[in-house]
A and B are shown apart, each in its own frame.
Chain A
């Protein structure tokens, strides 16, 4: 049911600042992945990441908020500002209790936290700053956005690693259907500090390649893990009624599930989750024009995803793409960025290609768009996201009426 729409996109990603800059980079296959510059990572097995290029918080975030928040929140505040401006909605004209904020976060204010822990362990407890209490915790971004824009409706934060970014959009839709008129949603993450990187490495799923072009190549025969990144997208969700002519696209369907296959030997839940999302959208598999894949980048997880897509859509039954090879996996910000990219694809009738991946691994029965973008009319897109531990989510989007 097309009763809720996305009207604003705020993108701060390794592929660029601003939705259009990001979209141009995606269509050009211009990667934001490179050697880590924020600190000296040369001594670590993982040396590549997607950093937001040229991001200076002072240009985008009110001065007073900079010292009291982490980079992850700077990126979100900046993206929220951009998304609101893009939406054409005027928060000042809306009832304060009917505006809500629901963001996804995966690791909170990691770099801020490392700095304060260093003070604590080196100097003692009285050296820990007053802002540690409000910068590190996972709700910092939602709280600051709510305050910054006078939004007094429900505030939410969902942590489900990479899948949380779709679950927040579903929560936004739930709020729009029951009580809210505008929801700031999506999310960002940034764990670009030594402890953040080292903690991520412990999951054993990251690429140790030092070749930015080939380090993260999901579904490829040479898939060897993923590259981490920072940033993401903040999205403005509104009721379709009242947003005529402003919608990038509609939120048609959602489902989430939890995969127990690795632990229990039960079948993976991804295919069933996608089917439930399609049911929610009232679509048959044939009604989906493109899939934005989770694209974990490890052989086993890629295989599970490819098999699920083949099971639902038939072997090579639908075009599949993963522009996240240009940004790395952005955790809480990853799926919202995929949603933004999918909406831009729907708008322009073009499927961006998956840069980096060259030769599909054996058994990958998917039509992965490679080499260059594919022009074709698009009405609907499916976005898939999975989060560490078993989180699984699927979101169906429909093309909007944005003038």
Chain B
């Protein structure tokens, strides 16, 4: 007896609009949400642009206490989880059968940094002054707080975990959630990821390694995956949380099923913390294994949601990985990167991309790659430039690639 994990609820907080439908509207309109940073004074930074979420915590339904207690990343996660639960309509699950699997690359960095600035008196005191510590400071220190907040939201008493594998956290967290359903360890899993990294320390660390785009003069068009003139990724923020259920019980209660999480796999390049070899070998292996687990052939893949971060090495690496794993099929299917519109929200983006894939399957529309005007001869696939496309899809592939050398692939199928 194999239990299948299906997505029956989707909640999203993303740049360009809060909520699932606003998110889908941004994607299908090909609208970019990158802009000059407003969350802090970035005037001294190399990259002064980001994709920020226009997130109003009060309007999003959070109480004054929740706002005080929660880091921005936690706020995103809780708001996404609530939307996903509402969307699924699920109720009455035994708390012991509810699990939570949340991903995050940098945890509650924003809260941790803001409090550091206060306790250290603007960096002047190495021996920081503990008398200025806020009660929830420990909650900022441990990223597991993000999973705790979601678990409390649904009164989960089953397995709860925070998965932190850098930029593949989102895909890995959804994979882990699906696994819990498949194994029978839970009947309902809130799975997704969140990150709110648009803060001085995170911006500075990417400045230092020249990973982010310095196209400050043209913020709206700075995220240019697969374009010959790309010059780095644009930091983003946000969250997506999915409701995962076992297929049969979802059908019994008449739930709307977006997609099945049919297969997933992760591999590592064991090569370099930030560098990628151009051959895409390990990502290709992850794709091949994910296909096998999903019992799909490469010819079954109808759309690839690329990592598409907008760095030259990534775009070439994954283009090679698609060709290596899918052969000619890589040339036949649309490939797009939503990071061109909503930026790269580190660990969160993998789950936001899963949400995009679930919606793409559900609505049979492929989101475009915005800002793609000048083809890179080394990236010669169909990257769906600028305009969304109606497209018949039964299976879609989403991939992620991150620091540490981690590569993850996931297949979603229409059921």
Chain A interfacial positions (CB closer than 8 Å to B):
39-40, 43-45, 68, 96-97, 101, 105-108, 110, 113-114, 116-122, 124-126, 128-130, 132-134, 136-140, 142-144, 146-147, 149-161, 164, 167, 174, 179, 191, 194-196, 198-204, 256-260, 263-264, 266, 269, 272, 331, 387-391
By the criterion CB–CB under 8 Å, are A202 and B138 in contact?
A: yes
* Contacts A/B (CB < 8 Å), 13 sampled: A39-B127, A45-B130, A133-B206, A137-B166, A144-B404, A154-B267, A156-B165, A196-B141, A198-B130, A201-B138, A257-B158, A258-B159, A269-B96
By the criterion CB–CB under 8 Å, are A259 and B207 in contact?
A: no
Q: Looking across the interface, which residue of chain A has its beta carbon closest to that of B124?
A: A122
Please, which residues of chain A bring their CB within 8 A of the CB of B272? 147
Which of B107, B203, B211, B272 has the most chain A CB within a 10 Å cutoff? B107
By the criterion CB–CB under 8 Å, are B133 and A202 in contact?
A: yes
Given contacts A138-B107, A139-B165, A146-B404, contact A152 B142 (CB under 8 A): no
In angstroms, Cα B117 to Cα A99, docked, is 41
Q: How far is the CB of B180 from chain A (nearest CB, A)?
A: 10
Does B238 reach chain A (CB closer than 8 Å)? no
Please pick, from A124, A128, A191, A260, the residue contacting B95 in the complex, using a CB distance under 8 A. A260
Please pick, from A97, A149, A272, the residue contacting B96 in the complex, using a CB distance under 8 A. A272
By the criterion CB–CB under 8 Å, are B156 and A258 in contact?
A: yes
Q: Looking across the interface, which residue of chain B has its beta carbon closest to that of A196?
A: B141
By the criterion CB–CB under 8 Å, are B404 and A140 in contact?
A: yes
Given contacts A39-B126, A388-B138, contact A151 B144 (CB under 8 A): no
Does B282 reach chain A (CB closer than 8 Å)? yes
In angstroms, Cα B382 to Cα A163, docked, is 45
Please, which residues of chain B bring their CB within 8 A of the CB of A158? 161-164
In angstroms, Cα B168 to Cα A146, docked, is 15
In angstroms, Cα B136 to Cα A204, docked, is 10
Q: Is the interface on chain B under 10, 10 to 19, 20 to 34, or 35 or more residues? A: 35 or more
Please, which residues of chain B bring their CB within 8 A of the CB of A194? 126-128
Q: Give the top 3 A-B pairs by smallest Cβ distance, nearest first.
A: A143-B404, A121-B123, A389-B148
Please pick, from A117, A154, A258, the residue contacting B100 in the complex, using a CB distance under 8 A. A258
Please, which residues of chain A bring their CB within 8 A of the CB of B403? 133-134, 137, 139, 143
Interface of A is mostly: mixed
Given contacts A155-B406, A257-B158, contact A160 B147 (CB under 8 A): yes
Please, which residues of chain B bring their CB within 8 A of the CB of A117? 113, 116-117, 120, 123, 201
Given contacts A125-B204, A160-B162, A257-B96, contact A388 B265 (CB under 8 A): no
In angstroms, Cα B269 to Cα A149, docked, is 11
Q: Looking across the interface, which residue of chain A has its beta carbon closest to that of B207?
A: A125
Given contacts A139-B105, A139-B406, 9 further A-B contacts (CB under 8 A): A125-B46, A155-B266, A156-B165, A157-B165, A158-B163, A194-B127, A195-B120, A258-B158, A263-B152
Please, which residues of chain A bring their CB within 8 A of the CB of B126? 39, 114, 118, 194
Q: How far is the CB of A369 from chain B (nearest CB, A)?
A: 30
Q: How far is the CB of A270 from chain B (nearest CB, A)?
A: 11
Given contacts A125-B45, A143-B405, A387-B144, contact A132 B201 (CB under 8 A): yes
By the criterion CB–CB under 8 Å, are B271 and A147 in contact?
A: yes
Q: How far is the CB of B152 from chain A (nearest CB, A)?
A: 6
Does B92 reach chain A (CB closer than 8 Å)? no
In angstroms, Cα B163 to Cα A346, docked, is 31
Given contacts A154-B267, A156-B165, A269-B96, contact A260 B152 (CB under 8 A): yes
Q: Looking across the interface, which residue of chain A has its beta carbon closest to that of B133?
A: A202
Does B79 reach chain A (CB closer than 8 Å)? no
Please pick, from A144, A161, A204, A258, the residue contacting B273 in the complex, using a CB distance under 8 A. A144
Q: Looking across the interface, which residue of chain B has its beta carbon closest to that of A44?
A: B130
Given contacts A143-B403, A201-B133, contact A130 B148 (CB under 8 A): no
Q: Looking across the interface, which residue of chain B has its beta carbon closest to that of A39?
A: B127
In angstroms, Cα B269 to Cα A68, docked, is 19
